[in-house]
Amino acid sequence: MSRADEIAGNLTAVRDRIAAACRAAGREPADVTLVVITKTRPASDIRILADLGVSDVGENRDQEAVGKVAELADLDLSWHFVGQLQRNKAASVARYARYVHSVDRPRLVSALDAGAQRAGRGLRVFVQVDLESGEHAGRGGCPPSDVPALCAAVAAAEHLDLVGLMAVAPLEQPPAPAFERLAELQVRIHADHPAATLLSAGMSGDLEDAIMAGATHVRVGSAVLGERDDVR
Q: Which of 60, 50, 27 is nearest to 168 (CA)?
A: 60
Interface residue with ligand PLP, options 65, 151, 185, 203 (CB under 6 A): 203
Position closest to ligand PLP via CB: 221
- Cα torsion 20, 25, 30, 35 to 10°: value is -70
Closer Cβ to ligand PLP, 40 or 110, answer by number: 40
Under rule CB under 6 A, residue 221 binds ligand PLP: yes
Strands (E), the chain: 33-37, 56-59, 78-81, 97-103, 123-128, 160-166, 198-200, 217-220
Q: Which value, in Å, is the radius of gyration of the alpha carbons in the chain?
A: 17
Nearer to ligand PLP, 64 or 117 (CB): 64
Q: Which stretch, 23-31, 143-151, 184-192, 219-227, contacts ligand PLP (CB under 6 A)?
A: 219-227
Q: Does 86 bind ligand PLP (CB under 6 A)?
A: no
Site for ligand PLP in 49-78 (CB under 6 A): 60
Please identify, using beta-carbon distances, which residue of 74 and 227 lies nearer to ligand PLP: 227
Residue 159 near residue 113, CB atoms below 8 Å: yes
Compute the distance between CA of residue 154 and CA of residue 232 in angstroms, rounded to an integer. 27
Strand partners, 217: 33, 200
Q: Which amino acid is at 167?
A: A
CB of 218 to ligand PLP, least distance (A): 9
Q: Which of 15, 17, 39, 80 binds ligand PLP (CB under 6 A)?
A: 39
Question: By C-alpha distance, which of 163, 216, 190, 165 is closest to 25?
Answer: 216
Of positions 15, 68, 80, 219, contacts ligand PLP by CB under 6 A: 219
159 versus 216: smaller Cβ distance to ligand PLP = 216
List of residues contacting ligand PLP (CB under 6 A) = 37, 39, 60, 82-83, 168, 203-205, 219-223
